[in-house]
Structure 1
Amino acid sequence: MKPRQQLDLMNKIIRELEDLKNSQTSVLKKIAQIEADNINLNEEALSDALPEIHERVDDSIQKVSDLIDKCQASRNTFEQDHQSELVEPT
């Protein structure tokens, strides 16, 4: 794979990871809303299960965020190391 193709694929993966993080954040917001609604309802099954689900989704968001940071650092290093190969001929 040529350096330009590799860089493009790295960028695509980072965008997909960002999209995944945004989706997980939406899920976390929905869980929080259900938790808030359950304050009035006081359904025991929800009270028992939701905190763990909330924690797992939150942990997942953090792991994806860390992965995004690592991928961006790797991408930046790759771009610097292959700068001369990435310049488009004029």
Structure 2
Amino acid sequence: MDKIEKFKAMEKILREIEDLKNSETAVIKKIGQVETENMNVNVAGLDTSLNQIYDGAYKNLENIEALHLSFTEQVSEFKEKNNITDDMLLEIREQS
């Protein structure tokens, strides 16, 4: 795999990590919606379960954000180390 192909694959992975981040954020929002609905019906035990699920989802989001930051730095370093310019990428994308 040449450096451009590797860089393109790294960019794809970065986009997929961003998708993970968005998905986990959506899970957290949905938990909040369920918690709000439960305030109306007050089902016993649901609050505890939702809090546990929320804690896990929030920890996942923190891990995903840390991964995103770390991998973004790796991609940038790879791009700089291999002298990959934005013009090169634009030209390649136009050819695709």
Per chain length, whose mean CA-contact separation is higher, i.e. which structure has more relative contact order (CA < 8 Å, sep 6+)? 1
Provide structure 1 residue ranges, at least 5 long, that are not aligned to the other structure.
Answer: none
Q: Which residue of 2 aligns with 1:32?
A: 32
Alignment of 1:1-90 (within 5 A): 1-83=1-83, 86=84, 88=88
| CA-to-aligned-CA distance 1:20-72 (integer Å, 9 cap, x gap) | 11011111111001011111211113112000101110110111011000000
Amino acid at match of 1:31: I
Amino acid at match of 1:4: I
Q: Secondary structure at the match of 1:54?
A: helix
The runs of at least 4 consecutive aligned structure 1 residues that moved more than 2 Å come to none
Amino acid at match of 1:52: Q
TM-score by length of 2: 0.84
Q: Secondary structure at the match of 2:45?
A: helix
Provide structure 2 residue ranges, at least 5 long, that are not aligned to the other structure.
Answer: 92-96
CA distance in 2, matches of 1:75, 1:8: 10
Amino acid at match of 2:2: K
Q: Secondary structure at the match of 1:44?
A: coil
Cα RMSD after superposing both structures: 1.5
Q: How many residues align?
A: 87
TM-score by length of 1: 0.89
